[in-house]
Amino acid sequence: MGKLVWLASYPKSGNTWLRAFLHNYIAQPEAPYSINKLADLSAVECAAAFFRPHASKPLAELSPAEVQALRPAVHRDLTKLHSDLVFVKTHNANLALHGTAFCTPSVTAGAIVVVRDPRDVALSYAAYTGLSVEETVAFMGQTGAANRGTAIQVFELLGSWSTHVASWTQERTFLTLRYEDMVAEPRAAFARVVKYLGDDDNPGRLAKAIAFSRFDVLAAQERRDGYAAHAPGARGRFFREGRAALWKSALGAAQIKKIETDHGEMMRRFSYL
């Protein structure tokens, strides 16, 4: 059995919120765990630091095929970060490219997958990157959508929103959470996370971890301390609203139609339509 538990999501879907909860639940701190220390108990798969020891040239010069060839070794390295399970954040689709899986099966113990209404994802992603909503909606509809490699992170393959969600949620041994349920019923949603990881029910510990990772707490930390893990070129605040269904008052009719046309089948599967 593998050791890696993937924390998987399309960007701006609640992955960092999940990581904050896990840090507060596992570490049981006396004050909310710092958003700038979320690498203490979880790793970011695309981080350049993990790939650099295996690369023969600067990471920004690596082709996607060359990055893929390094991934199995990098994932084996990640298993050594902790003696127990190792949590690894990824925005990659659960697919293969150039004959290599983005999430190496042999070292995988499981995955916690967060899915969010793509209409809200489009709003949040656009605000964060500085792109227009139209550009973001178009990007989310591209089967080969990817984030290029830089000096601090390697190439990531997202795929379209629908492709990404389908790739992760077809595996029945993985836990899937809807962002909207995390907002509306955090006690029930995060209790599923704890149960999936095999921990005993501890209402007090769970409630404290949920309180310490509330969205307003995370946003206040960002305002006070900044957020060191901003993606290259990011424009807006990372923690913006943290609510569901903001698209109803913020998206135009054409934007809504485009998203629902591109992703209607998957949206219906998760009761977004």
pLDDT digits (tens, 9 = 90+) for 36-88: 999 999 999 999 999 999 999 988 889 999 999 999 999 999 999 999 999 99
CA distance 82 to 137: 38
The tokens 């301390």 sit on which residue?
225
225 against 59, higher pLDDT: 59
The answer to whether domain 4-117+142-227 has CATH 3.40.50.300 is yes
User: What pLDDT is stored for residue 26 in this prediction?
Assistant: 96
- Asked if residues 204 and 13 have their Cβ atoms less than 8 Å apart, the reply is no
Domain positions in the chain are: 4-117+142-227
Cβ neighbours of residue 99 closer than 8 Å, sequence gap 6 or more: 68
The tokens 């591209």 sit on which residue?
142
User: What pLDDT is stored for residue 215 in this prediction?
Assistant: 85
Q: What predicted TM-score, i.e. pTM, was given to this entire model?
A: 0.93
Radius of gyration over every alpha carbon of the chain, rounded to an integer in angstroms: 18
Pairing of strands 4-9, 100-101: unpaired
Task: Name the 3-class secondary structure at 100.
Answer: strand
The tokens 């990098």 sit on which residue?
74
